[in-house]
Amino acid sequence: MIKNHHKNTKSQIIDEERVAVITGTSSGIGFETALAFAREGYYTYATMRNTSKSDNIKEISQEENLKIDVLELDVDKEHSVKTAIKQILDQKQRIDVLVNNAGWGIWGCVEDVSIDEFKAQLETNFFGSIRLVQQVVPTMRKRHSGTIVNISSYAGRIGFPMSSAYTSSKFALEGLSESLRLELAPFGVNVIIIEPGIVNTNFFKPMRMAKKLELDTSYKNMTDEIIPRVISKAKLGIHPKEVAKRIIDAVKSEIPLPRYHIGDDAAEFLEARRSKTDIEFEDYIKKRYAYGNILLWD
């Protein structure tokens, strides 16, 4: 780590070295994004809840001589967030890019997802991002520069059945991001929303099922039929490297757009949302979520 013992040279290096902080980097989008920023010359903090899953990123970092520090950070815990960000700022005195990527999902219709399950979903996907923002923004404001990237989904703008808690968390994140972008604009800080379609990662493997789905609820046939079909589409999803590249391109843009979507499925759904009336779009979703030869909705 760079110390402050030798005043001029060392402090100058600190001042010039760009710093990126990415959450949820043990796999998938976070993993590829951390590598992408390090390859762009950023001193990158690859944070994750369980650092025992860091062997892969450490190995690549050593092979390519990348500046990557793996750091424990649990976005659900305020103390963990504060401790990690303090450590970064003590070492580098700056954070240029924050990528809020950590997240997970739960399957289930609204009646089948308990209040506690809804709270747990939002705790990570929504409040986790707020915790990071509140700790990082002060240093960005003081420097009058910086970029916050919030990883949403096309499910952050379209309500999908059987993933109501996940969709709600992403809608909330999008609203937060839009407000934050306006609040931070006078201070020279950018806020960007990234909306991937289905990504070929292990995201669906740990995705939880609402506990009530173990019972024979009114929605069980629906979820039993459709959820496996959605999961199977992950194999056709975009590679997380494509998402990482879009993030890098957005951050490097002179005037970043408020949001960027990625993937043919995201483009298709979002174009349908834009071009159709609400009722027309509902019909579109109903047909897309039909199973067998029977529509779920009349």
Q: Which residues are catalytic?
A: 166
For residue 149, which of 30, 39, 66, 57 has the smallest C-alpha distance? 30
Q: How far is residue 207's CA from residue 184's CA, in Å, rounded to a whole number?
A: 33
Q: How far is residue 222's CA from residue 200's CA, in Å, rounded to a whole number?
A: 24
Tell me the angle at which helices 164-184 and 128-143 cross, rounded to the nearest 10 degrees: 10
Residues 6+ apart with CB under 8 A from 294: none
Show the beta-strand stretches assigned E in 146-234.
Answer: 147-151, 190-196, 208-209
The total number of residues written for the chain in this structure: 298
Q: How far is residue 58's CA from residue 275's CA, in Å, rounded to a whole number?
A: 45
CB contact burial 229-261 (16+ within 10 A = b; e otherwise): ebeeeeeebbebbbbbebbbebbeeeebeebbb
